[in-house]
Structure 1
Amino acid sequence: MTTTRPSLGMPEATKAPEGAGVSRRSALKFAGIGIGSVAAAGLGVGGVRAATNGVFNAGSGDPYDLWHEWATMPGIDRVVAAGVLACNPHNTQAWRFTVNDEVINVHSDPRRRMPLNDASGREHFAGLGCAVENMVIAARSDGFTAKVVLFPEGTESDHVARIVLGKGGTGQDRKLAAAIPHRHTNRGPYNATPVDLSGFTDQGSRVDGASVLWIADKAAREQLGRLYVEATEAITADTAQSTEAFTWFRSARCDIDKHCDGLSLDGQGLGRLTRFAAKLLPAQSRTDGDDFWTKATRDVHTATAAAYGVIIVDDVTNRTAQVAGGRLLARTHLTATSLGLALHHMNQITERIDRDRAAGNPDVFSARWAALLGRTASTGLVSFRIGHPERTPGLSPRRNLKDLVTASYSSSCGAQRSESASTA
């Protein structure tokens, strides 16, 4: 069950007590667990946990329906659903939509921001940019044109974008659109095969004001990897920052069904047996989960990255630049999916830069971040690793359209409907 943590500035629906689940970074410390222990855990209390934690129904049911149904959805429903399936920070899904005929308005839900892990709001607004671009891609693939106006009421408004659809599109972006229901963050290990980055060249010119900086050189990758580990250690040592992130982890299946958001064990990149055991055995504490996250960052994430990518903008604190960077991030992730590559969003360094600045702490990361980028730290918006996957990632839960959309539109772009959204 969830509880309220007012000091975090988060909505009640997103709270979870510290002992109620495994942290978002935790794969649990099951290295070396015996098959007999797992089998024994499947009996008695462990058997109850198997049922309540989704051992046998992972990736199915209402929280996952959009992934399975998206390809056959009609008209504007399909376009808006593409936005809901976009990558976003910590799976907070901090968006709301209003739809009137051929116009889709995208609004920020400020109650779903993470002020300690995302002090500048860069990830929040980049996630909204991902939703905008997913919808543009889906609309164009269905033969619509899509004109985007960012912050039509000014950058201080929660009205992030207006997308105006029209007839007469050329059907572009169909390959990226086909990747939408298959795009997932892959936190597992990658194999040693080098990545051919030439397949991403075309996407870099698709969004004004944003570009991708690739870091593939081995020495540079190793330096960046060490910086990621250090930033991870700093986050886990910051109790308030770690606790805020922990509230978004959904350990029990009942919490996944209730909230349809956040991170779960299925998305942690675990091997099949480890994931099975993690769901059977009692959840570990936030601090144990953070210890495992640090180890995974060092021994799996940075150790197996074939390359890193950084979304570059003119100013990471500029709202329009944040959304534009998110739009390019969405295209990049979908391109990776279409090429059979894995992508894992890793923003520990920038989270610590923003956290230290907001808290008035010494800035221990900006100079080294800038040296690796070859440009000022204020241009590196968000980052990720990429490679050839060894495991298939699990699905992340998604909220239903009825909880996110206020709509009234005609059959020119889909079936006639009119409904009000819940803003929970």
Structure 2
Amino acid sequence: MATNTVTDEPPELAMTRRDALKLAGLGIGSVAGLGLGVGGLRAATNGAFSAGAGDPYGLWHDWTSMSGVERVVAGGVLACNPHNTQPWRIAVDGDTIDVHSDPSRRMPLNDAGGREHFAGLGCAVENMVIAAGPAGFTAKATLFPDGTASDHVARIVLSDGGDGQDRDLAAAIPHRHTNRGPYTSAPVDLSGFTEQSSRVNGASMLWITDKAVREQLGRLYVEATEAITADTAQSTEAFTWFRSSRSSIDKHRDGLTLDGQGLGGLTLFAAKLLPAQSRKDGDAYWVKATREVHTATATAYGVITVDDVAERTAQVNGGRLLARMHLTATTLGLGLHHMNQITERIDRDHAAGNPDVFSARWAALLGRPASTGLLSFRIGHPERTPGLSPRRSLDDVVTG
């Protein structure tokens, strides 16, 4: 199990993203030259020559060759989940799969209400339900069989007799990755999401496509990002989940990495040559990227809505719908990037007893109470192929 120690400076080598952007302006020959000597050592240490390869990425490559219950469970471990905390513990007994919350993987400052943690668990549950049919099973999922106060989030019972209803979504499981890079200006046809939008009870999709509203929402995302980075405790907690060197990726097999930041190939390679970034440099890059890339190139925003964002079953159901949305985007060749800064600040301010400066504006943009907007993301036609995220192995998370 990964243990996260809060420190302002990580012990492993990393990059200064601001310098990486400068280095990208050098010629290819200049950057290649940096790959020699100390630069080459840093590049190797930071995984410049091994991105997406090795044990932390094995499950992405091995999933299609798996079968039976193992294939279903592995589909859950490959599910999208905020911050890539992988918040699950899974127990398997024959054809029964029990999904439990792992409290050690909570982010109490960035996810004060637990909505992202339990939504991530919902993503895993739904991925397993989706994987079950093409694997030859019918899956029945029961949420919180021991009550919502329990960490026992779901029980999935498999029986023989699968169908092909979710075959396309299941096939997308090993190809689904969060795309944080720029999107093109081409419009997105959202009709391909209609069928999946109604497949989960207790959660609905709200699409924001109007240009004026998108621009207002974009400004609110930037403001929320600035608020998170100005909150030292919240920023520091998030930074502990950034895996900046290959040794850190191999050790933890979770969290966010350079390969998942949507950088261009030359910029990414240059970034891996550089000395360790500070938390403040990372925050500055995040704000800049949110303003100049993420919100500037979002063709549309999607918001998962529920009756009450604080209710555990609603959080899990919202995650189940999010899993379907992300897999559908993958089948359509679209990029999807989870963006929850606004709701993270709402929950953080409530928990800390601070004035709530985001809920009213969030509600105005949604056209409904802030207490119904659970999770959000941007979507569009990606300019770049996203990198793989590290994943813990089945041996790390499964018992029985």
TM-score normalised according to structure 1 size: 0.91
Given that 2:20 and 2:271 are in contact with CA atoms closer than 8 Å, whether structure 1 keeps it comes out as: yes
Counterpart check, 1:287 vs 2:276 = no
Mark the CA change 1:138 to 1:24 in structure 2 (over 3 Å): closer, same or farther.
farther
SS at match of 2:56: helix
SS of the aligned residue for 1:160 comes to strand
CA displacement, residues 331-385 of structure 1 (integer Å, 9 cap, x when unaligned): 0000000000000000000000000000000000000000000000000000000
Question: What is the deviation of 1:16?
Answer: 6.1
Quote the Cα distance in structure 2 between the aligned partners of 1:276 and 1:54. Answer: 9
* Stretch moving more, 371-380 or 23-32: 23-32
3-state SS of 2:263 partner: coil
Question: Which residue of 2 is the match for residue 381 of structure 1?
Answer: 374
Could you tell me how far 1:18 is from its partner in structure 2?
2.6
Match of 2:9 among 19, 22, 47: 19
Q: Does 1:251 align with 2:244?
A: yes
Displacement of 1:26 = 7.9
State which of 73, 89, 103 in structure 2 corresponds to 1:110.
Answer: 103
Q: Which residue, 76, 86, 95 being the options, matches 2:79? A: 86
> CA–CA distance in 2 between the matches of 1:14 and 1:63?
18
Among residues 201, 216, 227, which one is paired with 1:208 in the alignment? Answer: 201
Partners in 1 of 2:303 and 2:15 — Cα distance? 21
**In 2: Cα distance, 1:263 partner to 1:170 partner:** 35
CA contact (8 A) 1:22 1:289 kept: no
Deviations 1:28-85 (A, max 9, x none): 4423322365234322211111111111011000000000000110111110000000
- Secondary structure at the residue paired with 1:311? strand
Per the alignment, do residues 298 and 153 of structure 1 end up closer, same or farther by CA in structure 2, a change over 3 Å counting? same
- Gaps of at least 5 residues in structure 1 are 1-10, 408-424
- Are the aligned partners of 2:130 and 2:169 in contact in 1 as well (CA < 8 Å)? yes
**SS of 1:82 mapped into structure 2:** helix
Alignment pair present for 1:68 and 2:61: yes
Between the aligned partners of 2:14 and 2:374, the Cα distance in structure 1 is: 22
CA contact (8 A) 1:21 1:251 kept: no
Aligned to 2:297: 304
Instruction: State the Cα deviation string for residues 272-296 of structure 1 (Å, max 9, x = none).
Output: 0110010011122100110110010
* Aligned equivalent of 1:227, options 203, 207, 220: 220
In the aligned structure 1, how far is the partner of 2:15 from the partner of 2:271? 13
> How is 1:125-274 mapped onto 2 (pairs within 5 angstroms)?
125-274=118-267
Task: Note the residue ranges of structure 2 that are not aligned, 5 or more in a row.
Answer: none
Distance 2:17 2:94 in 1: 45
- State yes or no: 1:406 paired with 2:399: yes
* SS of alignment partner, residue 66 of structure 1: helix
Distance 1:27 1:323 in 2: 34
Q: Distance in 2 between matches of 1:199 and 1:305?
A: 18
Q: Read off the aligned partner of 2:101 and give its amino acid letter.
A: S
Q: Which amino acid aligns with 1:88?
A: N
SS in structure 2 at match of 1:274:
helix
CA contact (8 A) 2:14 2:275 kept: no
Q: 2:22 aligns with which of 28, 32, 43?
A: 32
Contact 1:28 1:292 in 2 (8 A): yes
